[in-house]
Structure formats: C-alpha cells, structure tokens
Amino acid sequence: MTTLSVGDDLVGYRIVRRLGSGALGERYLADHPRLPRRDVLTLPHSAVGDDADARARFARAVDIASSLLHPHIVPVHDRGGSGNGGGDSGSDGVLWVSTSYIDGSDAGALLAQSGTPLPPHAVVDIVAAVSDALDHAHAQGLVHSDLRAGEILLDAQRHPYLTGFVLAGSAQPADDQAQLARTAIDMLGSAVGPQVAEVINRARAIDPEQRYRSCRDFAAALRAAFGGAENSVVSSPTVVTATSSPTAVPAPPRAVATPPTMMAAPPTMMASPTPATGGPIRWSGHPGTLEQLRGLACGAFFAVTTSTDPVDHLTMAESDRSIRKIIRRAWAITDTASVVDTTELLALGLVTADYDAVLAGLAHTQPGSPRSAMRLDPAAADAIGAAGGGDAARVRTVAQAIALSRTLPQQVPVSTAAWELGQAVELVRMCHRVGLVEETWAWAAIIDLGRRAQQRYADWTAFALGFEWGRALASAEDARDPAAAADESCARTRPVLTMLLTDPSSPWMRIPLQQ
C-alpha cells in the first residue's frame, strides 16, 4: 500500500499530516486542490486495490455513500484510482476517497483517554444519533458492516458523525444493529443493569429475526431502559425514508394582483438565540422572532452561496443596481404587484406540482424501487402530465433525469417544494432591499413561507432532500442532457446543504423546523 509523507501531492491534494490507520486504510489530512478547506484522504488497504472485484465494490459503496445526506454521517466528497471509473487517479494508480474532516476525536479514543466508561446519558444520545444515521443508510441500500467506537467521530461540541460506510460488503442491516449494541457496551462498560442488559442482548441475538425492527427501535429501547435519559449531547432528527410516498400538489392558479394571505402587522420582536461562533456561516444575532428566523432559514442556501449577508437578517448588502438586474432578468419583476404575484406563485408551487406528480407516479407504479431503477415510458409520462394538469414535455424531461442521473439521491423526497420556498425567501429579501415591498409585508411573507415548509417537511434534513431534488430537476429542464445537468446541480448543491445540516453555526442547527 502506498505511504504518503507530509508535503506529498496526490491528484492535487497536498498532504498535511497522517491521521492514522482505520478499518479501510491509511488516513491523511490534506489541503483541497482548489477550495480553501482540508479533507481527509483515505487510501484503502492493498487487499482492496489489488482485487478487481474489491475495487468495483469499493467504487459502488463510495458512490452510494456520497449520496447520504444526514447530520450524523461524515460527507463523502470524491474518489479516484485508475480502472474504477472514479475520475482522477494518481500516477501510481492508487485508490483514494475524500471525506470531510471532523476536527475532534472519536468515541474509541475518548474511552482510551478517560480510562472509564462514558456517562449513560452521553452513550444513549450517541447511540440515538448513530441509529438514525444507520437507518438512513439502510434505506438507501447501504450497510456499514464494521461499526465500532473508532468509527464514531466527535467534534468539539461532542456532535457524533458516523464514518466508514465505504467498506460496506455483504452484511445485513441487522448486523449493524448488533455491532452498535456491542459498541454501546464498550462505551458503557460491562456493569449495566438488568433492563439495559436485556435490551443489549436482544439487539445482539443470534437470530436476526429476534432483534429490533430498526436501529432506531433499539436506541429507543435503550433510552427507556435508562429511564428516558435526557438528551445532553445531540438530538436525533427525523429523516423521511425512501419508502415515503410523495404527494402531488395541485397546479398553481393564475397570477392575481391581490397580496397573498399573510400577516398584516409586523410580529413582536424578541431576542434571538446566542450568536454561534466559528464555521463558515455568519450568524448576525438579529433580534427576530423564532418564526421570522425559521422562515429566513428556508432560504439559507442562497444566503450562503450568493451573499455575504448573515442568513438571519432581512436586509441585504448588495447594491440596488445589481439586485434590480437579478430580479428583472430572472423574474421579470419591476413593481410591487409583480413581487406579490411571484411570491405567491412560488409559495404555491410554479413547478412543484409537475415534479411531485412525476415522483408520486413513479412511487405508485414502482413501489419500493430505488431511484436509479425507476423507469417511466413516454405514454405514462403523458398520462401523469394530463392527470396533474402539468406539461407532458416537462414530465418526460424530469423522468429522464430521474432514471439516468448518477448523483441524485436514492431517497425520494416527500415534495420538491423546498426549492421554490427557498427561492421565494431570497426573492422577498431582494425586493425589500430595493424598496419594492414594505418591511411589514416582507416579514409576513417570510413567516408564511416558513409555515408552508413546516406543513410539508418533518425536519431540515427532509427539507434539504426536497431542495436538492427540486434544484436538480429545474436544472434538467431545457438541458440537452437532463441527467448530466441534474448531476452537476447535485455536485454544487450537496456540499452547501451538508454544511447547513452539520455546521454548529448553521440556522438549520440553531432553529428547529418543527416547534
């Protein structure tokens, strides 16, 4: 196996230091070739690189792992190596995979350093977070297969991240549950009460049929065995599973000149949460209400990628001239009436109805199929378009992108409305900046958009999935190669969404969608 030294270069990555050896292989901290960040480069053991079948399994596992978007899973960014179709490769043909760098420690190292078991409440919370991550991966057809304390990374705030998915082999989801139970005992120590022991033993039962139905069920039983230990490390978000059936929404009505139904008076102001520090997302500490901040958080993607302004503030720092150009060219907005009409149409869904109709049609005709296995013939596309009152050509384009994309998540969202709700939030901010709408109306619109997001999504993870799909399908329209356009959109969108779901300073980490 290739060994790298400080200062060495691998496909543009400059090695900063060796991090150690893991189950997959040697791990190195490296400077990204183009972006101002550091990633972890892992070079698989020789057994993987020397065997063609092992290389192919490695490539497939990395491809699936890269689509996992979850606050407790370390994001996988890229892979390479000659002969695996993975893009760049070093001159020596070495296999590699790049993942996010979690600045902290891992549960195994924490145990070794302390020399004593972890507090029960900390273990319960770590198990809950990891269980949620595992069930999310299982829904995408990926099994971890080598779960142990060293694979659970902890940042400075003790936020857990599960790594190591690219080793997935022939194991079953129930095997992950048994390994998680074993890891829980490692963290708790062998001296546990009878109720806890009973839960652990069931999760490790020899017959997989005797184990819990899911890792989440195991985590819930463990918490109950400890008497409902309060969450003090992390909270375990609810993720919409791949078996959730998308629901088509009605086609939007024609534009009207009257304002949308929103709050007419400015909400009462109250103090915001303590501003977060560190990380790439600016948090201004603007004294907005929880509902105001939740609404603004729907447009956080745009605030992070296209603006230098804090994501929790209504105002914007761009010049009036540049903003007027954007809204005139993108939305044909020139006056207050057009702002109101466009915002209302985005809130109702200009394209969401068509996208959701296709997703609902696919889920109905091919239940349980992973996204990449879904197919839709032209006649069925025309029927779905006619039934939903949508454009048949758009339906066919969307179906083509879904079937042929290599990057769209395997998990199908409950709706793609998040894409248009996010656009509407940023549009309101821009129009307020250039004086086309009053502050009272702007805040009422922002709050309304946040409430619409609450009605459709269980949490920000589900919102992010709907946003990624919506943006990708919008990019596919009018493209010569819809699938390639969708893949390019995902490549640009996913890192930002991952940051929003994991960075402690992110509004999605600070402001719950459901409360």
The DSSP annotation for 97-142 comes to EEEE---EEEHHHHHHHH-SPPPHHHHHHHHHHHHHHHHHHHHTT-
Among 368, 458, 366, 478, which residue's Cα sits nearest to residue 414? Answer: 458
Tell me whether residue 146 is one of the annotated catalytic residues.
yes
Phi, psi at 39, each rounded to 5°: -115, 170
Phi, psi at 311, each rounded to 5°:
-80, -5
What is the Rg, in whole angstroms, of the alpha carbon atoms belonging to the chain? 24
Helix (H, G, I), strand (E, B) or coil at 78: strand
Q: C-alpha distances in angstroms, 444 versus 260, 284, 292, 472?
A: 10, 21, 8, 29
> Catalytic pick from 39, 63, 106, 146?
146
Locate the DSSP E strands across 156-300: 160-162
Side chain identity, residue 39:
D
Residue 305 is which amino acid? T
Contact, 150 vs 162, CB < 8 A? no
400 by DSSP, 3-state: which?
Answer: helix
Cβ burial, residue 479 (10 Å; 0-12/13-18/19+)? middle
Alpha-carbon span 403 to 360, nearest angstrom? 14
Residues with a catalytic annotation lie at 146
